[in-house]
Structure 1
Amino acid sequence: MENDPLRQQIATVKQSLLDEGTVEPHFFHLEQLQSPEDPNFLERAIGLLYTDSMKVTNDMERLLENQPVDFAAIIRLVQQLRGMSASLGAQKVKERVLALLGNCEQGHVERSKASLQVLKLELGTLKARLDPYFQLVRQARPANGAGGGPP
């Protein structure tokens, strides 16, 4: 019974993440699919999304500084980010990626640079919002660490 307030807090944070559009319901569906052998799968996947995304966005920044700008190369990187964010249910990141893609497809250098900065901020926000959630989920797990999904 001691976990009831913690479980309530987790439910509240989940609803907040959905309400603010940080993640889609797909995110929590993936969480339910975690196995007892790998209860931190989604947390690690989000960590990889963040790390890989920062590398990709840094590459895009460099490409946007070249003259002429190689939009085809940038679009390939944006498509990569789109797939990563969509597969994990990171809704706001996916929206920012689509905005960047549109600006790149239209060949707008300055708009692409601005969209890229907004995307980087959103990636940081995703990490900042999900890290406390994952911490709560870890706290609510049984002492033996078993259990695939959230409590």
Structure 2
Amino acid sequence: MKKSLFDQGYLDEQFCQVEDLQDEASPNFVEEVVTLFFKDSGRLMSNIEQALEKYPRDFNRWDAYMQQLKGSCCSIGASRMKNECMSFRDSCGQGNVEGCMRSFQKVKREHAVLRQKLESYFQLLRQAGPAGAATRPIM
């Protein structure tokens, strides 16, 4: 399943680097990091949504919030989400409100899909036990 997350572009090598930090002392490290990512990214997306409504055409504010979200995506290797964040930021740079709105909808979709896929992945890992966590995708 993890290989398909890489093949479909949901995750990149950064996710493997996060996995490399997991050890016997913290066997749930990756799942905890991902849980924190979804908590933080949910808050950031809420901030962006509010900024889109309260501050129309404030591209600098929108861009600053999206930069924070993009950084969070990069930290866990959420590649498709990161790419949509970059599209949003490109639209901000062009002063394209419609492009920002479209990109933000895509960011929210990618966030929901990634959450579902990673929840399934971690559920499978828990069922497989410690040996399942040791495998890396073939690149």
Q: TM-score, normalised by structure 1?
A: 0.80
User: 2:54 & 2:97 partners in 1: Cα distance?
Assistant: 10
Which aligned pairs between 1:1-150 and structure 2 lie closer than 5 A? 13-66=1-54, 68-142=56-130, 150=133
Output the CA distance in 2 between the equivalents of 1:17 and 1:68: 36
Amino acid of the structure 2 residue aligned with 1:150: A
Q: CA deviation at 1:32?
A: 2.6
Larger Rg: 1
TM-score (norm 2): 0.86
C-alpha displacement at 1:67, in angstroms?
5.0
Say what the alpha-carbon RMSD is for the aligned residues: 1.8
- With a CA cutoff of 8 Å and minimum separation of 6, indicate the structure with the bigger relative contact order: 1
2:81–2:110 CA contact under 8 A, matched in 1: yes
Q: 8 Å contact 2:14–2:74 — kept in the other structure?
A: no
Mapped contact 1:64–1:109 kept (Cα < 8 A): no
Percent identical among aligned pairs is 37
1:4 aligned residue: none
Q: Partner residue of 2:137?
A: none
Unaligned runs of 5+ in 1: 1-12
**Taking structure 1 as reference, are residues 106 and 27 closer, same or farther at Cα in structure 2, changes over 3 Å only?**
same
Q: Secondary structure at the match of 2:27?
A: coil
* Consecutive unaligned residues in structure 2, runs of 5 or more: 135-139
Paired with 1:57 and 1:73, the residues of 2 have a C-alpha distance of 13
SS at match of 1:37: coil
Number of aligned residue pairs: 134
